[in-house]
A and B are shown apart, each in its own frame.
Chain A
């Protein structure tokens, strides 16, 4: 069962993404900011197949989180998706430069989310 980490400071967004992924049979953990996410991802017991993160968050933003994750051995090649309202080219570029695999633009609905997630998860 794919294990996914969801990072977003908005609890409604977190819950919706979590619920959607869980109902599609994934196991999900979530964090409200980058720092918390990094802590969870650093736990050896957790082995996420995919990280989905918001960009604009307090404490540690998504771009920093992606860079930090890419420095972790386990997450160097894992897919990381950016979940953001920021659909401008600069933000996409910043995400890509930091090492994001791709992006999901808000607003999205559950099926769109699952579609994109399905694209990056190992089959």
Chain B
């Protein structure tokens, strides 16, 4: 385990804390004086400060330190929770987030911004404590519950100061100093877990120590309390250390003991004329670190590598936090598997005499355990969608403020789990959809009141599992999609043929078309006409799809369906020549018997297939992959599988549809090399390798190959028939 790994843990923890802080701050808008919230924000700032200071991110530590100080004043009732305070803290949260981002990337933080944030926090603190009638001393420092982390260093038990002195001063000869210490510990010293022996040992580490014990206070046996410490000591210490360093040994006990330290005039007085003066520190440094003031030396030594590590090239964060219950479950299952294995192993040794029924039972058990193990291993990659959902309250808060809208955000099913990769890649599309709903969906309060709706709109975000998919719904009770305006615009852009009357579903899908926007004015929130097509494409790339239901005046619902994981895909097995290929089930629109009459050739090789007035490019997989075909008329009895990706549709010519099954995706890229048109491979039940086709890739290849007129593929898709 390296420092880097601790950094990783710290980053994850800091991300969680900063998000918690943000959501508490947002709640505070409505619930200003809730002491729990105030305390939670305080503790989050406190914990981030502690961690960032420990792991060497001093800018983050400094900013969070002032946040902590501010929250401490709020906690003590010295500062009131106001909108200004919340906004200031929220912008500080953003700043810390950015600093964390830079730290993760191994880059230095934006010092100007950090400085500004710190300054405005301090200014607020100063102004607030000024109000509290403490104007004369109302500086940030005065309100400080504790010194800033950088100031804290000299306070450390080991007194960092001498060590940070330039090392070369250590070359000076260092005089030995002699101290006499009277040490009278308190009777109850043991009750704090302290032990005079430890103190004596620490002193001995500083130099030559003579110990003289005084046992005169020992009571008679019948009065003796074994819990009490009756001894005291007279100590004589020869060391190169300062009195301060010597006294450090008593740091923990000084308040309950009587300690009298005297420095004896040294023999070589010329070398050190004023031994009592503590300010002589620079003379001693090297000796000190050498003399093994054990905790002191590492301060600068171990810090240095930590700093250089931060400058190292950023590494992709690859860790994942897994609940202990999931790990326990795996261990449990592996245990079961081992038992089954040993049972089968035993039968294998006595194969002639074994009970066939029992053997079959054993295999069934093996199958069950393997499946369960597979399912549970998959679950390790599953993380709750709250990671994405948590970004929403802040965004909605900012957006509504900007747009002058009133809105309640309701989130349900935050604990719904999905694959980590899926979660990471669905974040931005989801943010976009929510943004869109707030911007275009929800009306301004006066419009809503005029329409007889409550002034405050409602935006619901909801996630759940259904049929092995993760479903995310984004529902708003806003204006809904204006059917006529969408259609009008689509006709104007030539996306819908004049004679065609599309269904509601088709019209709704139009808003995902590149360059399509019906917003009356382009706002800086959304509505530049870019984005919705990217949203759809991202979802399709994840093997999911998105549906829209909308009613004018009542609102819209976007429903996203995503696979639980990217490691396994529901596949359709196809036979092409003698080969088996797999296409993801989710990309199939329909499969039809090829009608030769509908097949049109363009130029030399390219072909289009006419289906319901629409022309779709046809890809013959036999040609694409150079699969030898028996002479029997090529197109006879062939099937056309219509598939869709973000960019359009194509028809794949195949010989037969075989089974549908779940396949585990093996990367071709890491095991072999990238192959155009193929997204991966899998191993079939009979041990053969089958290639999984990459639909967007095939589409691109088909376009290049035939240079098709794409007008036909831009048509709105027909009903799904997967």
Contact = CB atoms under 8 A, between A and B. Distances in A.
A90 B12 CA distance: 32
Contact of B299 (A9, A85, A112): A112
A12 B51 contact: yes
A102 B251 contact: yes
Contact of A85 (B9, B53, B192, B301): B53
A101 B152 contact: no
Q: Which 9 A-B pairs have the closest CB atoms?
A: A111-B298, A115-B295, A101-B193, A102-B252, A79-B193, A12-B10, A107-B53, A115-B294, A107-B54
Contacts of A19: 1, 6
B515 interface: no
B70 interface: no
Given A12-B6, A12-B10, A120-B198, 8 more contacts: A77-B191, A79-B194, A88-B146, A96-B192, A107-B53, A107-B56, A109-B303, A111-B298
A24 interface: no
Nearest to B294: A115
A100 B253 CA distance: 10
Contacts of B147: 87-88
Interface in B1-48: 1, 6, 9-10, 12-13, 43, 46-47
7 contacts: A10-B47, A12-B13, A16-B54, A100-B192, A102-B194, A104-B157, A115-B294
Nearest to B199: A119
A72 interface: no
Nearest to B321: A11
Interface string A9-21: 1111101100100
B158 interface: yes
Interface in B131-152: 145-147, 149, 152
A10 B192 contact: no
Contacts of A110: 298, 302
B55 interface: yes
B158 A115 contact: yes
Contact of A111 (B10, B13, B192, B295): B295
Contact of A70 (B1, B12, B55, B191): B191
Given A76-B191, A102-B251, A111-B302, A85 B158 contact: no
Nearest to A122: B195
Contacts of B47: 9-10, 56
Interface in A75-90: 76-80, 85-88
B194 A13 contact: no
Contacts of A78: 193
A72 to B, nearest CB: 13
Q: Which residue of B53, B146, B190, B297 has the most chain A CB atoms within 10 A of its CB atom? A: B146
Contacts, number: 132
B201 interface: yes
A76 B12 CA distance: 37
A112 B295 contact: yes
A108 B9 contact: no
B715 interface: no
Interface in B541-598: none
Contacts of B156: 87, 105, 108, 112
B235 interface: no
Contacts of B6: 12, 15-16, 19
Given A112-B298, A115-B294, A119-B201, A85 B49 contact: yes
B255 interface: yes
B413 interface: no
A56 B193 contact: no
Given A12-B13, A99-B192, A112-B158, A118 B54 contact: no
B298 A99 contact: no
Interface in B379-397: none
A70 B194 CA distance: 13
Contacts of B295: 111-112, 115-116
Interface in B230-273: 251-252, 255-256
Nearest to B293: A115
Given A96-B255, A101-B193, A106-B53, A119 B43 contact: no
Interface string B422-464: 0000000000000000000000000000000000000000000
Interface in A22-71: 56, 58, 70
A109 B194 contact: no
A83 to B, nearest CB: 9
B510 to A, nearest CB: 48
B13 A11 contact: yes
User: Quick one: which of A12, A111, A119 has the most chain B CB within 10 A?
Assistant: A12
B118 to A, nearest CB: 18
B310 to A, nearest CB: 14
A88 B1 CA distance: 33
Given A111-B302, A112-B156, A123-B201, A101 B50 contact: no
B202 interface: yes
Nearest to A80: B193
A57 B295 CA distance: 26
A116 B296 CA distance: 10
B203 to A, nearest CB: 11
B113 to A, nearest CB: 23
Contact of A12 (B55, B252, B294): B55
B214 interface: no
Contacts of B1: 19
B192 to A, nearest CB: 5
B298 A91 contact: no
Nearest to A22: B1
Nearest to A84: B50
Contact of B146 (A85, A93, A104, A118): A85
Which of B10, B192, B227 has the largest number of chain A CB atoms within 10 A?
A: B192
A107 B193 contact: no
Contacts of A108: 54, 156
Nearest to B65: A85
B193 A105 contact: no
B225 interface: no
A19 B255 CA distance: 33
A46 to B, nearest CB: 17
Contacts of A119: 198, 201-202, 294
A52 B53 CA distance: 19
A15 B9 CA distance: 8
Given A12-B13, A109-B298, A87 B157 contact: no
Nearest to A104: B157
B155 interface: yes
Contacts of A58: 43
Contacts of A88: 145-147
Nearest to B9: A12
Contact of A109 (B192, B251, B302): B302
Most A CB contacts (10 A, CB to CB) among B1, B10, B193, B301 go to B193
